[in-house]
Amino acid sequence: MSSVEIPRETWATRIGFIFAAVGSAVGLGNIWRFPFQVGQEGGAAFLVMYLLFILAVGFPAMLVEFVVGRYTERNPVGALREIGSGAWRYVGWIFIATGFVILSYYSVVAGWTIRYTVLGLQDGYLADAAEAEAQFVTLASGLDAIVLHALFMAAVILIVGAGIKRGIELAVTVMVPAIIVIVVGLAVYAATLEGAGDAYAYYLSPDLGVIAANWTSILPAAAGQAFFTLSLGMGVMITYASYLGEDRNLAEDGAIVIGFDTAIAFVTGLIVFPILFTAGVDPADPGAGAIFVSLAAAFGDLTLGWLVGAVFFGTVAIAALSSAISLMEVVVSYVVDEHAVDRRVAALAIGGGIFVLGIPSAYDLVLLDLFDLFADQILLVLGGLLLAILVGWILSDLAVEELSLGIGDLGGYGTAWIWAVRIPVVLVLIVALVLGVLDYLE
Ligand code: PHE
Ligand code: NA
């Protein structure tokens, strides 16, 4: 292989890094997964647990990834090899595997969002729930789904192949502001719907008894969702922070990213539940596909629903794209860094591999649910847990010092951060992992 040192790329601007991290965070997790988790896990009770986990677990864990990425300036495998000794050196592989698996089915779901955008513009949506369901089954699995999955992966390959500045940064700088504006607009629209009042009551007034009665399922779901939605446990934030050329205030950047992600998820609830309640659809219907069916049926019921629906699904597709490129970048950065492969070749080969792995999910919805559960409740939690133990318990001095670059003296905050990683993050992830494994085996 070539021995020429190619200088590693960096983000062009500070805002570029933040847009990229927000673009990664804001995705299907917010606009598809979050509302169906709320529905499945008991409404507002889930929301409360989720917000708690974002603050107590998500924020410290995001700083862990930022610090590891900026300190090593490497892909996750290279980063862990540099900071870890013994078996720790191999933890980076879990991230690569997780990114690979998640993107395989994430892309399938993203394909549905493209299909549903076109559906609204072309034919409109079917108001009858049974018909909408039958239509979803036809569109979301089999050949149609495989073709759309291929189309979406092609877009991901093009952007990631073009590089950090000219590909990813450029793309997110357009996509992220668009997502924010449209989501806010849709929430304002949803507030005018007749079912809005009931929806807000369901979504916003938690019944704490529900948490007490169902914590064994709410806890792993909320922890998994917190990690998934913030793009943690997959090495994405390690990878993106590794392209930071200079020392910035990582705590501030992390707070901005988390603020946007949480706001978009929360506001999505203000869109989805009023629409469902207005159309008389039960939000508790479980499953990955259900939210598509319920929403499509609801759009079929509303005046100008075809237009609102197309805007909604189109926005979801864009959000999915800005997340998918970050997942792919984890794997591509590894191949480019460690094996000196040309970026475009790497993107094409890896994208092709992910496409193939996604075919079972595109073929059968049951398999997609299994992939999602396995990746979200097990793989991602495992990677996050091991990294938290390594950084919190073994490398804490180094981590605090790295975090302080660009901030100055952390005072007690550095200690507070490390203890947040050592106890809440590690404990929650252990419990989530055990419950997640049990849930998976059921
Ligand atoms: N955070 C993204 C979302 O909420 C999903 C994602 C996870 C993206 C991991 C990249 C890495 O949809
Ligand atoms: Na998210």
DSSP structure string for 302-324: STTHHHHHHHHHHHHHHHHHHHH
Q: What is the mean pLDDT of the chain?
A: 92
| 437 lies in some domain | yes
Conformation bin of residue 205: beta by default, left when phi > 0, alpha when psi is -120 to 50: beta
The residues near 441 (Cβ < 8 Å, ≥ 6 apart) are none
Pocket test for ligand 1, best of 229, 239, 267 (most atoms within 8 A of CB): 229
74: phi > 0 → left, psi -120 to 50 → alpha, else beta; which? beta
pLDDT of residue 130: 86
Q: Is 362 helix (H, G, I), strand (E, B) or coil?
A: helix
Q: Say whether the ipTM exceeds 0.85.
A: yes
Look at the block and give the residue holding tokens 């992600």: 261
CB neighbour list of residue 25: distance below 8 Å, 6 or more residues apart: 229, 230, 231, 257, 258, 260, 261, 323
Q: Which of 343, 245, 321 is nearest to 13 (CA)?
A: 245
Q: What CATH code is carried by the domain that includes residue 159?
A: 1.10.4160
8 found inside a domain: no
Which ligand lies nearest to the CA atom of residue 234 in the structure?
1
Instruction: Evaluate whether residue 3 is within a structural domain.
Output: no
Count of domains for the chain: 1
> 71 lies in a domain?
yes
Q: Ligand 1 pocket: which of 32, 172, 232, 326 to mutate (most atoms <8 Å of CB)?
A: 326
Tokens of 365: 């919805």
Q: Which of 101, 159, 323 is the pocket-test mutation for ligand 1 (most atoms within 8 Å of CB)?
A: 323
- Kindly state whether residue 386 falls inside one of the protein's structural domains: yes
Cα–Cα distance, 425 to 246 (Å, whole number):
28
Which residues surround ligand 1 with Cβ inside 6 Å?
Answer: 24-25, 27-30, 102, 228-229, 231, 234, 236, 323, 326-327
State which residues form the domain around 300: 14-441
Q: Is 9 a domain residue?
A: no
Written as tens digits, the pLDDT of the chain (442 aa) is: 444 556 789 999 989 999 999 999 999 999 888 988 888 887 888 889 899 999 999 999 999 999 999 999 999 999 999 999 999 999 999 999 999 999 999 999 999 999 999 999 999 999 988 898 899 988 989 999 999 999 999 999 999 999 999 999 999 999 999 999 999 999 999 999 999 999 999 899 888 888 888 888 888 788 888 989 999 999 999 999 999 977 889 999 999 999 999 999 999 999 999 998 988 887 876 555 677 888 898 899 888 999 999 999 999 999 999 999 999 999 999 999 999 999 999 999 999 999 999 999 999 888 998 898 888 778 999 999 999 999 999 999 999 999 999 999 998 999 999 999 999 999 999 998 998 888 778 7
CA distance 41 to 222: 9
Phi/psi for 393 (5° steps) reads: -100, -30
CA distances from 362 to 137, 141, 251, 264 (A): 11, 5, 39, 27
Give, using CA atoms, the residue closest to atom 11 of ligand 1. 231
Asked whether residue 7 is assigned to any structural domain, the reply reads no
Instruction: Report which bound ligand comes closest to the CA of 318.
Output: 1
pTM summary value: 0.93
For 29, 106, 156, 174, the CA distances from 171, given in Å and listed in that order, are 19, 19, 10, 6
Ligand 1 atom having least distance to the Cα of 261: 4
